[in-house]
Structure 1
């Protein structure tokens, strides 16, 4: 297969690229700066998002995976929030333009999204049948991003919207920051400790996207989360047990609110999300429970 990935040098994109290389697919990584990238067999770096509006020429692409967008990490100033939204919309529109120009269209567009689509709740359970999005900033961003991606259907392209949960890996994503207090023996519950963390191991993110590439019946929203979300206090206890560290020192909500501003809602609120569609389409999770996921991460 020939697979084009925007955001292919990032956390998820790099993991996908490595997996696709092992499967002998050819990966075309769309990047603003292709120079100086490490040479890999079956990987071609393609420059895109030119200031002059010039589009790259691609042909024979079987699938697009769109992961491009400004990181949500950091304080959400008005300027940062504008970049978070506009970068995602702009990148998706560029992909739509590329697809429009292609004589032979790709079979599928897998577009990143996030479980932030559902908004936050300590009591509700969300799955892909949840009909409405939340009313906060991230819910707005994901709803607009998904709406843009769905336009690929006008060119006969199957669209899968992968709503990522908290992605766990040893040296990437949020887990290293979550682990640090425990390594310093000061880990404990954050805020109320009752907020839900809908998490997923990075290998299952890769596996689920690979599954979506090959299952022609899978389309629309797909929650990329474990079937067993946990509340924050339980997450911390399992992490502490895995690291052989105590779970004892609470971090009050106001400390995060002062330090992170609006972004603190990601950590303090959360949502309970289950991957109903992945299970219905027979995806087999490698790490369905948090204890198995963390054991695998910290044994490596």
Structure 2
């Protein structure tokens, strides 16, 4: 095996599952820290923790090649005061806990990746945002990202390299945004959302997993790194590519006022759809990372091939 141990804190969700399967053949042991027990699946094991208190689980971090922290309440909800608090606490508390545990370890993880969000940048339709020249935005979701990253980098882990991986919208076959958008396409509702001019910074699930290995191997990289494809697309183009790949000739558009009504009905926020995220993975590109799917057209065709 190439690696000894991979730890996925809060890894029982969609992206955690992608990472676990990616490392299944590369690591001797993959440990998922979860609030719920689950049976072992070969070399993938689940250890129960609550993300708040220290306990027996912390010994599993000893000697790990990689720790990926995926903890956090899903932001696909209405931003009520209760949900806002839960969104923040569910990210800050596990990050602080992991930092305390790592600080006192004899053999701490070599690399700690916190999966944060590319939504930390401002609404951008004028020019691309990268790690060097990108401008931090304002509003609740940006405040969450800022607090989260500040907490992460303030943890005292002198022997553990740290990366805040600012993840774009992950496009994949089993969950996430893609199946929901495809359902709209199938129903003839796959037109533009809003004016369709907002950029979508996306990444194929295979690149989302593979780049974590790249970061392990390139020890000169640390700090904030964007995880998006090199080519963001406008919403109107994304929906057109999906319709074409699935063979649907038309899609009714959804104006902003209709999206707001729909968001209230299903319990989400229109910001998740209408904010223009034009983000570039400059540091990954500069380091030579070879994207499997740099173009949206090819990523969409790959995903739709299973339907």
Q: TM-score, normalised to structure 2's length?
A: 0.92
Q: Report the count of equivalent residues.
A: 298
Change in Cα spacing, 1:240 to 1:232, as seen in structure 2 (3 Å) is same
Q: Structure 1: how far apart are the matches of 2:55 and 2:27?
A: 30
State yes or no: 1:264 paired with 2:270.
yes
Change in Cα spacing, 1:156 to 1:53, as seen in structure 2 (3 Å) is closer
Change in Cα spacing, 1:87 to 1:51, as seen in structure 2 (3 Å) is closer
Question: 1:284 maps to which residue?
Answer: 290
Structure 1 residue matching 2:285: 3-state secondary structure: helix
Structure 1 residue matching 2:132: 3-state secondary structure: coil
Does the CA-based 8 Å contact 1:49-1:55 persist in structure 2? no
Question: 2:40 maps to which residue?
Answer: 39
Q: Structure 2: how far apart are the matches of 1:292 and 1:66?
A: 29
Alpha-carbon shift at residue 218 of structure 1 (Å):
1.2
State yes or no: 1:211 paired with 2:217.
no
RMSD: 1.7
Q: Structure 1: how far apart are the matches of 2:146 and 2:28?
A: 31
Alpha-carbon shift at residue 68 of structure 1 (Å):
0.6
Question: 1:113 maps to which residue?
Answer: 116
Q: Structure 1: how far apart are the matches of 2:228 and 2:302?
A: 17
Structure 2 residue matching 1:72: 3-state secondary structure: coil
Structure 1 residue matching 2:164: 3-state secondary structure: strand
Question: 1:244 maps to which residue?
Answer: 247
Q: Structure 2: how far apart are the matches of 1:117 and 1:228?
A: 18
Question: 1:164 maps to which residue?
Answer: 167
Structure 2 residue matching 1:239: 3-state secondary structure: helix
The list of structure 1 runs, each at least 4 consecutive aligned residues, that deviate by more than 4 angstroms after superposition, is 50-53
Listed as ranges, the matches of 1:96-245 within 5 Å are: 96-130=99-133, 132-152=135-155, 154-245=157-248
Q: Structure 2: how far apart are the matches of 1:122 and 1:290?
A: 18
Q: Structure 2: how far apart are the matches of 1:94 and 1:154?
A: 12
Deviations 1:88-141 (A, max 9, x none): 001111111221231112211101111111021222310011364211111111
Structure 1: segments with no counterpart, 5+ residues: none
Does the CA-based 8 Å contact 1:85-1:141 persist in structure 2? yes
Q: Structure 2: how far apart are the matches of 1:104 and 1:24?
A: 18
Structure 2 residue matching 1:29: 3-state secondary structure: strand
Which range moved further: 40-49 or 229-238? 40-49
Does the CA-based 8 Å contact 1:49-1:94 persist in structure 2? no
